[in-house]
Amino acid sequence: MTDSLTLEIDDLVVDVLTGIYSEETGKPQPLRISIAVDLAMVERFDPDTPLGASKNYMDLKFAATDALPPGVHFKLIEAVGEHICETLFLQDERVRKVTVKIVKLAIAEADEKIGMTLVRNRR
């Protein structure tokens, strides 16, 4: 059995230019984004293990916020997820797998969660 380390950020709300319908285009809409990153890990995490043995959790937040290109309209939320995955793979060669879940908050009528989950493995 192989040990693993998954870093996570859940329920980050980000305004993103996305959508294909006329009422969606031209204005940002809120997306609820959750990210899980499977990371190659060190043998053990001792009390004095430095941050470099893991990954800064803020890198996950950055990939879903500041790393999204300003002014770019993503027709599909799948493309938003793809951009987040690529950002995380480029940031750190230890990233083995990225899972991005995106929920479109603006289209919910009864608090349902409408969206997608994208899983990418390093190739």
Residue 51 tokens, joined: 């941050």
Q: What is the predicted pLDDT for the residue at 1?
A: 63
Total-model pTM:
0.92
In tens digits, the chain (123 residues) has pLDDT values of 678 889 999 999 999 999 888 777 788 999 999 999 999 877 788 899 888 888 889 999 999 999 999 999 999 999 999 999 999 999 999 999 999 999 999 888 888 899 999 999 999
Residue at 85: amino acid letter: C
CATH of the domain at 49: 3.30.1130.10
CA–CA separation, 116 and 23 (whole Å): 20
Count the helices and strands in the chain (H runs, E runs). 2, 4
Range of the domain at 94: 5-121
- Number of domains within the chain: 1
